[in-house]
Amino acid sequence: MAYLRLREVVKSYDGKVAAVDHISIDVERGEFVTFLGPSGSGKTTTLLMIAGFEHPTGGAIELGGHDLVARKPYQRNIGMVFQSYALFPHMTAARNVAFPLKMRRFPRREIRPRAEKMLALVGLGGLAERYPRELSGGQQQRVALARGLVFDPDLLLLDEPLGALDKNLREQMQVEIKRIHREIGTTTIYVTHDQTEAMTMSDRVAVFRNGRIEQVGSPLEVYNRPVNRFVGEFIGDSNFFAAHVDPARPGWIELDRIGPVRIAAANLPAGAVDLMIRPERLRPRPASGSDDNAFDMMVDDIINYGDSILVLGKMRGLPLRARIGGGAPDALRPGATLPLAWAPADAHVLPRRSAK
């Protein structure tokens, strides 16, 4: 049995519109699962129902085989870390971390050593006596993380904890949170709208939209094999082409306005589909030699990222984006023709009905 189980969970604030619409997901003990989605997709509301700060309209939430819905928030032994840190300004870092232990009536002799050990784990061993106003944003977030873990929670919930940090500090904290998770193994649910956070930190990702879960899978699974166009567009950069499948021609697919191309997928049902190709899967075509799917791209613009370039253009009048490693050749400029190719296995076929 899964450690954390959500079954057909519903939340409606007005009895008419469901903010969370029949969500079901299983989380194994020790997993790091990210709830990813745009604002208003239901991910934070789901997190708050697990924590007990919101009551579900319907459905079941279980942790370790026990019903959570019937328990008050303070009875759930769940750690919570917020984006706003929520530290007590009149308490030192050590006292902030020790606060949950005092509320749970831990033995007095254990409180200080536990708090100091947890501060050392998050890299703040020498800052125990500083007040929040004397700490940077990243340091305050580490204190909040230590406070959420110090009492050995059964589950750790993090609600966009890095949203207030700058890019470099955010990346450092991603590495730190993942390191801490590896060391202590606490089952973790992480909420974010940042794709990079979800891809770099998670064991699995649950992609939310309009109160529902569209897909649950490993980061590479949801990136390389999205179940529908929304997931493909929300996670990473993508090219989509309208196409049709003819079962009489296995290994081929007909792209609208382009013609037949080879694909690796087999046993596809006949009908309209979308073909997805990630920009980094498109590669420059050598002057000599043949490729399965070769074409010319008319260049409209170039964006240089240093380690790669993003080429914007068209293929037979259809918009196209190609990401190429290294610097841009001198000849590559707006108006130029760029020969490209892609392998059959690099494309992913999606049902057209999922594009809505």
Residue 328 has pLDDT above 70, yes or no: no
Same domain, 226 and 81: yes
Strand order in the sheet with 252-255: 259-262, 252-255, 239-245, 271-277, 347-351
Same domain, 164 and 278: no
Q: Which of 231, 253, 276 is the last residue of a domain?
A: 231
Looking at residue 306, its pLDDT comes to 83
Residue 288 has pLDDT above 90, yes or no: no
The residue with greater pLDDT, 332 or 116, is: 116
Q: What's the pLDDT band for 229 if we cut at 50, 70, 90?
A: very high
Residue 290 has pLDDT above 80, yes or no: no
Contact 320, 239 (CB under 8 A): yes
pLDDT, tens only, 131-168: 999 999 889 999 999 999 999 999 999 999 988 788 88
Looking at residue 341, its pLDDT comes to 92
DSSP state at residue 269: P
What's the domain count of the chain?
2
Q: State whether the Cα torsion 338-339-341-347 is positive or negative.
A: positive
pLDDT, tens only, 36-59: 999 999 999 999 999 999 999 999
Mean pLDDT of the chain: 92
Residue 2 lies in a domain: no
Q: State whether the Cα torsion 229-18-38-149 is positive or negative.
A: negative
Looking at residue 356, its pLDDT comes to 41
Same domain, 226 and 251: no
Among 86, 79, 81, 75, smallest CA distance to 186 is for 79
Same domain, 211 and 256: no
Q: Which of 231, 248, 263 is the last residue of a domain?
A: 231
Residue 342 lies in a domain: yes
Looking at residue 130, its pLDDT comes to 96
Same domain, 160 and 297: no
Look at 60-74, 224-238, 293-307, 324-338 and tell me which has the smallest mean pLDDT: 324-338
Query: What predicted TM-score, i.e. pTM, was given to this entire model?
Result: 0.91
pLDDT, tens only, 255-264: 998 999 999 8
> What 3-state DSSP class applies to 91?
coil
Looking at residue 353, its pLDDT comes to 64
Q: Give the orientation angle of helix 167-184 with respect to helix 108-121, to 10 degrees.
A: 130
| Boundaries of domain holding 132 | 31-38+76-231
Q: Which of 182, 209, 231 is the last residue of a domain?
A: 231
DSSP state at residue 208: E
Look at 110-124, 201-215, 276-290, 295-309 and tell me which has the smallest mean pLDDT: 276-290
Residue 290 lies in a domain: yes
Same domain, 214 and 111: yes
